Structure 1
Amino acid sequence: MSEFARPFDVRQLDHRAVKLVADAAERQALAKRFDIVRIDRIEAEVVLERDGEALNAKGTLEADIVQACAVSAEDLPVAIREPLAFRFVPAGAGHAPDEEVELDEDELDEIEFSGTTVDLGEAVAQSVALAIDPFLTGPEADAARALLKDEDVSPFAALKGLKLGKD
């Protein structure tokens, strides 16, 4: 079960605009899942349109997160503003699992679903995860790097002071 589940029955959709907003518990669970400090806001506005058995979803994602600097571990606020474009397709209707597929920039990401329900919230959550920079650095990163250079932090630094006795 997704931390931000927003199921939609594709049989009941033709053309519909929806707004998804994560509550505090959902944001906390997603922050834990993504291993970041916290998520202050996740909102998505999406237009859903049926296309035969498939469902197209286009819109925008806005999220405000706080993540740790990869070097200094200081908290850094990050604003995510991204377009969303998904195409939910029935399982087995897409490409073979090992088939390589190239998408143009304007093409939709395809997400397979089984049954009659798609989880738009999980698709939005995954978009947030993809927008997180795992190597984000802040203004204190250079100072932290300089501090680490001054110290010998190699795995063998602890062995440096040991003297091996000879028998």
Structure 2
Amino acid sequence: MTDHIESEKPDNGYEKPVRIEDISSRPKSYKVTFPANALEKVARRLEAEAVRSIEASFEISRSGPVILVEGHVTAELVRTCVSSLEPMDESIDDDFSFELEQVDELPDLSGEVEIDIEAPEPIIGDTIDLAEQAIQQVSLAMEPFPRKEGAEPVKDEAEQPSLSPFAALKSLKQD
């Protein structure tokens, strides 16, 4: 059975809560499709020129205190090429899997702390926001330095000053 969670909060446009108490050992499927009115907010958050679509499917179950989340996310983005500074399309099509664990408070990370990267991600509250999880998965799958195929670097017409520390000394000697 697949539940399609609809946004009931038009103020943020993309909250898709699932109550943790409703998660059992039997996997349950969810599908999240972002409405058009939320995509502009998501684009600003992802620092993309535009987000045309985001869809995610989730399968969620529980094993003791650990919540198992598996899924797939697709997205169509418009990003800025780091080389030519032109807009370019980027498609995301990614599988993901992670674990969450409900906690009363987040651990204090102010001092020197050893972090177990295999440990479940702590989550506070009584819901999991699947829209938030979808955005995070898109963010993780995005190309860190998007480059349009065949893009040439932008050429700066202005003469660049020498970065050599000796250039400053040379200018002093000429005076």
TM range (shorter): 0.7 to 0.9
What TM-score does the superposition give when structure 1 sets the normalisation length? Answer: 0.75
Please give the alpha-carbon distance, in whole angstroms, between the structure 2 residues aligned to 1:53 and 1:7: 19
Using the TM superposition, give the Cα deviation of residue 155 of structure 1 relative to its aligned residue in structure 2, in angstroms.
10
AA at the equivalent of 1:99: E
1:42-83 C-alpha deviation (Å, 9 max, x unpaired): 111111112223321101111111101113221111111111
User: What amino acid sits opposite 1:123 in the alignment?
Assistant: Q
- Alpha-carbon distance change, 56 to 63 in structure 1, aligned in 2, over 3 angstroms: same
Contact 2:12 2:38 in 1 (8 A): no
Matches for 1:73-88 after TM superposition, within 5 Å:
73-88=85-100
Q: What residue in structure 2 maps to residue 151 of structure 1?
A: 158
Quote the residue 2:57 is aligned against.
Answer: 45
The DSSP-based 3-state class of the residue aligned with 1:141 is coil
Most deviating of 125-134 and 92-101 = 92-101
- 2:48 match: secondary structure: coil
In the aligned structure 2, how far is the partner of 1:25 from the partner of 1:136?
25
TM-score (norm 2): 0.72
CA drift of 1:100 comes to: 2.5
Runs of 4+ deviating beyond 3 Å: 92-97, 153-156
Q: Which residue identity lines up with residue 100 of structure 1 in the other structure? A: I
Gapped regions of structure 1 (runs ≥ 5): 104-108, 157-167
Q: Tell whether the 8 Å contact from 1:19 to 1:45 is kept in structure 2 after alignment.
A: yes
The equivalences for 1:87-102 within 5 A come to 87-91=99-103, 97=109, 98-102=113-117
Q: Deviations over 1:90-131 (max 9, x none)?
A: 12699874223244xxxxx83322232111221111111122
Match of 2:70 among 45, 55, 58: 58
The 1:127–1:3 alpha-carbon spacing in structure 2 relative to 1, beyond 3 Å, is: farther
- Look up the equivalent residue of 1:133 and give its one-letter code: E
Aligned counterpart in structure 2 of residue 136 of structure 1, from 139, 146, 170: 146
Gaps of 5+ in 2: 1-10, 164-175
Alignment size in residue pairs: 148
Q: Mark the CA change 1:117 to 1:25 in structure 2 (over 3 Å): closer, same or farther.
A: same
> Does structure 1 retain, via aligned residues, the 8 Å contact 2:15–2:130?
yes
Give me the identity figure in percent: 21
Q: Any conservation in 2 of the 1:10–1:50 contact (CA below 8 Å)? A: no
Q: Shift in Å at residue 140 of structure 1?
A: 5.7
Instruction: Work out the CA distance in 1 between the residues paired with 2:64 and 2:117.
Output: 22
Q: Tell me how far apart the structure 1 counterparts of residues 120 and 12 of structure 2 sit (CA, whole Å).
A: 18
